[in-house]
Amino acid sequence: PRTDIVFLKVHKSASSTVMNILFRFGEKHNLTFAFPLGGGFQLYYPKHFLARFVQGFSPSRPRRFNILCHHMRFLQPEVQKVVPSSAVYFSILRNPVQLMESSFMYYKGASAFSHVRSLEEFLSDPYRYYDPAKGDSHYARNLMTFDFGFNPDGEVSTERVQLMLKAIESSFSFLLISEYFDESMVLLKEMLCWDLDSVVSFPLNIRDNSTKSPLPGSVVEKIKAWNGLDWEIYTHFNRTFWERIERDIGRERMRREVKALRERQAELARTCLQGTGSVAAKDIQDSSLRPLQHGSARILGYNLRQGLDKETERTCRRLVTPELQYSSALYKKQFPPKP
């Protein structure tokens, strides 16, 4: 199994669920994480990543960490200072239409969104509300482009797009697609030589359906145009994702693997969870399992079944622990507080 990993955690793309997978794998195999200084949750995002943002990094005695997976704005020369040269780099993308809708709900307080009632209103005249000079403007335009380290306000020219795609391809071994999450997990398992249980998960940091509504076609087209660079990244890597599956796994085997993954997840859900699945934060009995609520989104979580034996309870708890709580617990384990 590969144990040296860089995961670029792209916003609003099922990346919290992937992070849970990495946390569990790292904890099980006693790996080290490149944590933000002081145990924070982001590596000084939205600044470009620097090695000195990592707890325990020192230029005079460079220390290599196994897993780098907290939110950052990618800058490879700096990343290379904190992970071994053998590290596998991967990320996950999401259709920019759904990504923008999610970003609008989640980052409603961002300067570009705070004075509009709806996404339609914002898109009817974006430059009235959007100011690229504002420190939080990246949430409102080409968010994936920004997270990969590029300029989200660059023109969508063939030349720029080609340079961007080439740069991503040269840095990252593969990119997953959140719309095909189960297929992505099979690909991840394959690329990292992991077993099935290492990539099972329950969806984390997901929104209650009551805050979602379908977007009219005219809005969809405006979102694609406004996020032109993201659209180019997504369509390109969505295509290469399926090409890789054809080449490395084959559709037939992929079908079998996805079926096995879903069966295992259903089995774990029956073992671990009360009821059928996710619940509103107010209905989560164990306060340590309540996810952070943000913007206008209502983030769901889980209740564990009562009466589980110790080992099963531990396995189940790891699967449903929200990102911030899990990150804090692992940080304390890696950097025990001084008495």
Q: Can you tell me the mean pLDDT for 275-304?
A: 89
Residue 169 clears pLDDT 80, i.e. is over it: yes
Residue 312 clears pLDDT 90, i.e. is over it: yes
Assign 277 a pLDDT band (cuts: 50, 70, 90): confident
Residue given tokens 């950052």 in the structure block:
72
> What is the distance between the alpha carbons of residues 264 and 261, in angstroms, rounded to a whole number?
5
Q: β-pairing, 67-68 with 5-8?
A: parallel
Of 40, 34, 31, give the one whose Cα is nearest residue 68.
34
pLDDT at 339: 82
Residue 246 clears pLDDT 80, i.e. is over it: yes
pLDDT at 213: 78
Residue 209 clears pLDDT 80, i.e. is over it: no
- Alpha helices by DSSP H, listed for 107-250, are 119-124, 126-129, 143-147, 158-171, 181-192, 196-199, 217-226, 228-248
Residue 211 lies in a domain: yes
pLDDT at 205: 87
Percentage of the chain lying above the pLDDT 90 cut = 91
Residue 280: its H or E element: strand 279-280
- Token pair listed for 19: 């992070």
Residue 17 lies in a domain: yes
Give CA torsion, residues 134, 136, 141, 146, to 10 deg.
Answer: 110
- What is the DSSP annotation of 57-70? --SSS----SEE-S
Residue 295 clears pLDDT 80, i.e. is over it: no
Q: Which residue type does 97 have?
A: V
Residue 339 lies in a domain: no
Assign 223 a pLDDT band (cuts: 50, 70, 90): very high
Residue 170 lies in a domain: yes
Residue given tokens 């997978």 in the structure block:
21
Q: Can you tell me the mean pLDDT for 35-62?
A: 95
- What is the DSSP annotation of 213-226? -PPPHHHHHHHHHH
- Token pair listed for 250: 């084959």
Q: Which of 51-65, 130-144, 163-177, 230-244 has the lowest mean pLDDT?
A: 51-65
Q: In this structure, are residues 281 and 293 in contact, taking their beta carbons and an 8 Å threshold?
A: yes
- Alpha helices by DSSP H, listed for 204-320, are 217-226, 228-248, 251-272, 310-320
- pLDDT, mean over the chain: 95
Domain range for 287 is 5-334
Domain count, the chain: 1
pLDDT at 39: 93
Residue 211 clears pLDDT 80, i.e. is over it: no
- Domain of 99, CATH number, reads 3.40.50
Residue 86 lies in a domain: yes
Residue 331 clears pLDDT 90, i.e. is over it: yes
pLDDT at 61: 84
| 258-289 exposure pattern, b = at least 16 Cβ within 10 A, e = fewer | beebeeebeebbeebbeeeebbebeebeeeeb
Residue 33 lies in a domain: yes
Residue 214 clears pLDDT 90, i.e. is over it: no
pLDDT at 262: 98
Residue 70 lies in a domain: yes
